[in-house]
Amino acid sequence: MLVVVVAIAINFWPNANLGFVGIQKAFPVVLGLDLQGGSQVVFQAQPQPGQDPKLVAGNIQAARDVIESRAAGSGVSEPLVQVQGSDRILVELPGVKNPEDVIKTLRETGYLEWIDAGSTQIPEGTLVTTSLNGTVSGPSPAQIRAYLAAGGTSGSSAAPTPPVTSTGTLSTTGTTDEINNFKTYNNSQAFPVVVTGNEIDGTKVQAAISTQNGSPTVQFTLKGDGPNKLRDYTQNHIGQYMPIVLDKKVIASPIIQGAIPSGQGEINNMTASDAQSLAIQLRYGSLPVGLEQVSQRTVGPTLGAEGVQRSLIAGTIGLGLVMLFMLLYYRLPGLLADIALLIFSVVTFALFRAIPVTLTLAGIAGFILSIGMAVDANVLIFARIKEELRSGKTLNAAVEAGFDHAWPSIRDSNMTTIIVTLILYWFGNFFGASVIKGFALTLFIAVLVSLFTAITVTRTLLRLVVHWRLAQNPWWFGMDRPAPQAPPPTASGTQPVA
């Protein structure tokens, strides 16, 4: 079993693709922003239409959590999302060189609504105003500017397009007068809301391929009162339009062809990237505040190539010195511990690639710290073996007793470290400090592997060599004089008196 584990782990080192027993899958090394660079974006929180501006500061932390979940769901490894001041959010995306699609997924509010349009077919892309429980909500100024800049008209589909300037044309910037005119005309009809995205079960949202036409689609399931609302509405409005609105923009305008009793449905007729983006937004919830992009820039690795190279050299030198000390002081057990330490490094790195774990400077520090803990376990074991040899036990008995007596100390020390890593990970997850999460995750994995190598690998190797004639010499176990042999018992079973 040990040979199989090591063989699989070694296969991760030279190649980015694992080819073992028929498995072919890419396992690249994932580096953090400080090692490979990426993109940095700053968002400014904006109140939602009709929302009290004072609520922005109170909702900024919730918005940060949603953005972090969306970034991770988009495939970005260990994004750094931090709140700046009372209304700004800093997002760092490691390895993302062209972040436009990711930023679009992050910043969109992701508020989904199914509206009652009656017999009116609203074209896709139209901005609309909706009404829910007596509250009228329309698009934000930023949405209107983007809509006008893209060539949209200032009137809704329910009313003719009026002139909004003296010339009857629209500028691409969307002036205050044009925005006010747009709001006035779109507020003239607020479409009733049937169900909202808040009634979607996020655990049952996925991007898929439609079985009917083979196009990308988003499948969803409603929860709570959502299925009953959708069933009652669809069975009473067959043949009418029920547009799907995302952030006040119509993304589809389907006709109700029959009742939907199960609360399950799908949104189709979109590109694969749009389907994936929408699925992420629905899965992790809508943003409690609107976000406007303030800045975006590409950043290089903060450590630089030279800094990374020096860190690798320092780590290699440190590992070499530790292995040399173990070899000189503990001799044969030290040699076996060095072999176990190499296996520890190979297996740990393989797990980092398989999970995968984003390697940052903090994560590498957690791995290096675990090397010391792996050696510490071997030191406890070997010191105990020496004591057992001095007490007169045979080599085989001393090895078994040494492991049995050292295990409680090794277990307790590693368990306390594991508990600390769990606390650190929770702290980093709760407060958005992804650097702390990376350190805790790498340390947690490495501690578990070090327990495996110290108790299983080193013990297996010692059991193999104790039967060698060379190993019977106590010098190989760090003892400069032969261990005293226990005198044979007398006929009565008692020890002779000197």
Return the minimum-mean-pLDDT range out of 14-28, 341-355, 362-376, 396-410. 14-28
pLDDT at 415: 92
| Confidence bin at 187 (pLDDT 50/70/90) | low
Q: pTM of the prediction?
A: 0.59
Phi-psi region of 239 (alpha: psi -120 to 50; beta: other; left: phi over 0): left
Which two three-digit tokens encode residue 168?
A: 């009857």
Compute the average pLDDT of residues 24-37.
69
pLDDT at 150: 66
Cα–Cα distance between 409 and 126 in angstroms, integer? 68
pLDDT at 193: 92
Maximum Cα–Cα distance across the chain: 123
pLDDT at 195: 92
pLDDT at 304: 59
Q: Among 399, 389, 404, which Cα is nearest to 475's?
A: 389
Q: 35 or 403: whose pLDDT is higher?
A: 403
Cα–Cα distance between 367 and 355 in angstroms, integer? 15
Query: Which pLDDT tens digit goes with each residue over 446-460?
Result: 999 988 888 888 888
Strand partners, 218: 207, 267
Report the b/e string of 287-297 with b at 16+ CB within 10 A: bbbbbeeeeee
What is the number of other CB atoms lying within 10 angstroms of the CB of residue 22?
5
pLDDT at 158: 36
Strand partners, 193: 115
pLDDT at 21: 44
Please name the amino acid found at residue 364: I
Query: Which pLDDT tens digit goes with each residue over 340-365?
Result: 888 888 888 888 888 878 777 788 88
With a CB cutoff of 8 Å and minimum separation 6, the contacts of 119 are 240, 241
Which two three-digit tokens encode residue 430?
A: 């709760």
DSSP state of 204: G
Cα–Cα distance between 115 and 245 in angstroms, integer? 7
Q: 162 or 108: whose pLDDT is higher?
A: 108
CATH class of the domain at 2-21+310-477: mainly alpha
Return the minimum-mean-pLDDT range out of 159-168, 408-417, 433-442. 159-168
| Res. 301: pLDDT tops 80 | no
| Confidence bin at 378 (pLDDT 50/70/90) | confident
Tell the CATH topology of 38-136+194-299.
Answer: Gyrase A; domain 2 (3.30.1360)
Most confident of 13-22, 132-141, 385-394: 385-394
- The values of phi and psi at residue 347, to 5°, are -65, -40
Compute the average pLDDT of residues 75-79.
75
CA distances from 99 to 74, 102, 169 (A): 11, 5, 34
Residue with tokens 């925005």: 179
pLDDT at 173: 47
Compute the average pLDDT of residues 73-79.
76
Cα–Cα distance between 402 and 377 in angstroms, integer? 12
Cis before residue 356, ω within 30 degrees of 0? yes
Contact 248, 139 (CB under 8 A): yes
User: What residue ranges do the domains of the chain occupy?
Assistant: 2-21+310-477, 38-136+194-299, 139-186
Q: Identify the helix (H) or strand (E) that includes residue 298.
A: strand 290-299
Cα–Cα distance between 375 and 287 in angstroms, integer? 48
Q: 495 or 27: whose pLDDT is higher?
A: 27
Query: Which pLDDT tens digit goes with each residue over 232-281?
Result: 999 999 999 999 898 888 888 888 888 888 888 888 778 888 888 888 88
Report the b/e string of 309-333 with b at 16+ CB within 10 A: eebeeeeeeebeebbeebbeebbbb
- Mean pLDDT over the full length of the chain: 78
With a CB cutoff of 8 Å and minimum separation 6, the contacts of 230 are 114, 194, 195, 222, 260, 263, 265
With a CB cutoff of 8 Å and minimum separation 6, the contacts of 497 are none
With a CB cutoff of 8 Å and minimum separation 6, the contacts of 319 are 341, 345, 371
Most confident of 34-38, 153-157, 245-249: 245-249
Q: What is the DSSP string of 228-272?
A: HHHHHHHHHSTTSB--EEETTEEEE--B--S---SSEEEE-SS-H
Cα–Cα distance between 481 and 475 in angstroms, integer? 7
Reported as half-sphere exposure (CB side, CA atoms, 13 A), residue 336 has a value of 24
pLDDT at 232: 92
pLDDT at 240: 93
Share of the chain above pLDDT 90, in %: 9
pLDDT at 168: 31
Residue with tokens 């070090």: 450
Compute the average pLDDT of residues 156-184.
45
Which two three-digit tokens encode residue 137?
A: 């909500």
Compute the average pLDDT of residues 129-143.
78
Cα–Cα distance between 328 and 316 in angstroms, integer? 18
Q: 27 or 291: whose pLDDT is higher?
A: 291
Compute the average pLDDT of residues 413-423.
92
| Res. 186: pLDDT tops 70 | no
Most confident of 3-7, 44-48, 314-318, 404-408: 404-408
| Confidence bin at 10 (pLDDT 50/70/90) | low
Mapped onto helix, strand or coil, the DSSP state of residue 107 is: helix
Q: Vertex 252, ends 248 and 258: CA angle to 5°?
A: 120
Please name the amino acid found at residue 217: T
Compute the average pLDDT of residues 464-485.
70
| Res. 229: pLDDT tops 50 | yes
Cα–Cα distance between 478 and 328 in angstroms, integer? 9
Please name the amino acid found at residue 478: G
Contact 320, 341 (CB under 8 A): no
| Confidence bin at 167 (pLDDT 50/70/90) | very low
Residue with tokens 């072999």: 339
